[in-house]
Structure 1
């Protein structure tokens, strides 16, 4: 699908599915979402560029992701998407920057894209130049990542509170297990999202370094301060993502430690019960033997004596364990 954005009479104009050469050349931003071969050819013929295929976008070497052909820049990085649907992942997005047009090629929709399109509807000046569109789009992505990291921090606070509250208070076993399980799931998601967010920030950092060193005409001089601001913002988010990741690992170890303590307590209880029942079992086994000459069988008080002996041998180990502080 082709979405072509331009400004006419001070208003943003969006043309969907356009393949006309003139309309494509006039567009400031061409957004290709799951493009067909015909759509790719239309953009290539109109702008005289080579649109990377999906397979080429998946290549990980730097020379295949960041390069220049003539005066056109080809920039590819992985970006986080799908947070709202709960099925998050990373997708490669390519930015092709020519002197007059920005072409984005993507096969998923990070929320920053529709948010930026909505901003352009309100502030058409954001579409004043191709390099400005790209940098403003990067700003939207960085703002979106900042919001995600803030939400992850709140999720970790909630998971931490639930886990330690379950450990402190005398909750029922099923309630405690549910709290610990919820904390584990939350911390696992935090670790996965921060990892993918760090991947996005790493890709942005490489792109900004590449275009910051670019001496051609693709990036106008007046946009250089924006690049420096983005570099600082990305660096701060990388540090915050690393902090969240380290904190998630610490909390994960703490929750697993709580679970281990609970399991050890259960195992200790079973061990004490097993030890306490061993002497009564031995006594019952002895008097269960079928020897002919067993004097105790003829005693009138033999049965109650055996019962009392089994009770005593079961209680004594328990009292001993309590005295040692093992219970």
Structure 2
């Protein structure tokens, strides 16, 4: 889909998207969304440049993403998609700054751009030329990336509270019952899965921040206007702050993950501990039962009227003596 916009006094003004007669002179922004090969070819002929492919825009090499050629800047960065994206939902956007025009090429819906167009068209955002439009677009994208990082931080806070809310000390203070071992382990396992999802989201956002940071620095180096240079420096500052917050989230996730795994280990160790105590307490009674279960004719208590009660009492006494001994030594 091809969309053309002119910059007027009241904001953006849409133009007819017809390149058969060439580009309109007033077209300041050309937005190419999931273009067809025909649309790409028509735009390249109208501008006289080669638009980067999706593979080039999403490449890891800076030489593929950031190119200055004959006064034209071709810059690509990753941006998030949707308000609650899956971890893999990022798309590359290519910004082409050529002459008095700005071209954006994207292969999907970027959440920050469509609301930006609505706000710009209503006059809420001001930009007098393509340079101001580029800075405003980057500011809108950075704001959305920061919002999504904050959402990840809020979800991590809720996860942290959920992990530690049912702890033993907390349960004792509040007078509540602990969750059964199986349910508590399942709850902690779900928390680990949620942490994994948030880690994947934060990793994708970190890629967006790093690519946008390189783009802003590259555009700032080639900025001719003082105002654009200052705005791009401000964008860089915001992106560095976002990168620091992302690093904080990574540390927080590592702590919550380690704590969750530790709690699961404690739960499992408690279960093994209790099974060990029970097995040790049952060893003396089993020994007594084994002695009186031997098939020898000369066992004195074999024909005794109170032999059964005697054996049961001896088994109970041996278990009780073992329990008191463990209790005195502090093993229970």
Q: TM-score scaled to structure 1, two decimals?
A: 0.89
Answer with 236-245 or 148-157: which moved more.
Answer: 148-157
Q: 1:12 offset after TM fit, Å?
A: 2.6
1:259–1:299 Cα change, 3 Å: same
CA contact (8 A) 1:68 1:74 kept: yes
248-257 vs 187-196, which moves further: 187-196
2:257 paired residue number: 252
Deviation per residue, 1:29-82 (Å, 9 max, x gap)? 222222110111111111111011122223211111111111111111222223
In structure 2, do the counterparts of structure 1 residues 11 and 221 end up closer, same or farther at CA, with 3 Å as the change threshold? closer
- Is 1:309 the equivalent of 2:314? yes
Distance 1:230 1:75, change over 3 A: same
Q: 2: CA distance between counterparts of 1:54 and 1:24?
A: 26
Equivalence for 1:210: 218
Moved more, 231-240 or 219-228: 219-228
Aligned pairs for 1:1-327 within 5 A: 1-7=1-7, 10=10, 12-15=12-15, 18-23=18-23, 26-86=26-86, 88-123=88-123, 126=126, 128-167=128-167, 168-169=170-171, 170-173=177-180, 176-177=184-185, 179-214=187-222, 219-327=224-332
Cα distance between partner residues in 1 of 2:103 and 2:330: 71
Deviating more after overlay: 84-93 vs 164-173:
84-93
* Distance across 2 between alignment mates of 1:285 and 1:309: 12
Residue range with higher mean Cα deviation, 94-103 or 23-32: 23-32
Q: C-alpha separation between the residues in 1 aligned to 2:82 and 2:298? A: 81
- Secondary structure of the structure 2 residue equivalent to 1:44: helix
Three-state SS of the structure 2 residue aligned to 1:22 is coil
C-alpha deviation, 1:312, in angstroms: 2.1
Go from structure 1 to structure 2 and tell me whether the alpha carbon gap of 1:23 and 1:298 turns closer, same or farther (over 3 Å shift). Answer: same
Unmatched 5+ residue regions in structure 2? Answer: 172-176
Gaps of 5+ in 1: none
TM-score, structure 2 normalization: 0.88
Over aligned residue pairs, what C-alpha RMSD do you find? 2.4
Contact 2:156 2:198 (8 Å CA) reproduced:
yes
